[in-house]
A = this chain, B = another copy of it.
Amino acid sequence: MNVDLEDFQANRRQVSVASDQSDEIGPRLHHLRKGRGWTLQDASKASGISASAFSKIERGELSPTISTIQRIARGFDMDVVSLLSDPDAQPTLLGRRSVTRASEGKPHLSGNCDNKLLCAELKNKRMTPIKTRVVARDVEEYDVWPKTDAEIFMTILSGTVVVHSKIYEPLELHEGDSMYYDASAEHVWTRKGPEEAVVLWVLTS
């Protein structure tokens, strides 16, 4: 496990160095073509794109359509994604207890939300999991906007929630969406749409 992780990291370092920049296909294509010792006509023959177009694309004089990119990828025998991505990326990470059943949870009313603390009987936890039914429909319904130095992970179990913050634009989240943020800036949640909105969230303690 440790070994794997280190291998991976070493690998990553070396890969990302070799493949330079981010989102300019032109230089990448040029590099790729030259790397294979291909002329523009070779590339043209392989991809079905004219040499002139290829030249323009490489020099950024022309923004290829996705179908052209697909044909080029084909010609280079690679998939579109690896053609466009600098192959670094890919993050890593890869193992007393308390159970709360679906219908349970310690109720904890607060302001405009109906909270249930999960696994509350376990003390000295490093995280606090909470399930909340968001009631407020408008930010006006909040008197205070909470603010702590904790970090929050939240995921939407049902409905639509809008996250409001002093430093970001309002952000709409739907069922299955997740968000991670630090709560040092004031923030509140409102719900939206017909269904009830339920959020499962965990905060560091």
| Partner-B contacts on A (CB < 8 A) | 1, 15-16, 18-21, 23, 25, 35-37, 48, 63-71, 74, 79-81, 84-85, 89-103, 106, 108, 110, 115, 117-122, 125-130, 144-148, 150-153, 155, 160, 165, 167-168, 171-184, 186-187, 193, 200, 202, 204-205
Contacts and interface: CB of A to CB of B under 8 A. Distances in A.
A3 B9 CA distance: 55
Contacts of A182: 96-97
A35 to B, nearest CB: 6
Contact of A69 (B66, B146, B181): B66
B70 A80 contact: no
B120 A91 contact: yes
A67 B173 contact: no
Copies of this protein, total: 2
Contacts of A171: 99
A147 B25 CA distance: 40
A19 B67 contact: yes
Given A95-B187, A108-B93, A182-B96, A177 B127 contact: no
B172 A37 contact: yes
B129 A71 contact: no
A82 to B, nearest CB: 9
Residue with the highest number of chain B CB atoms closer than 10 Å, among A68, A126, A130: A126
A88 to B, nearest CB: 10
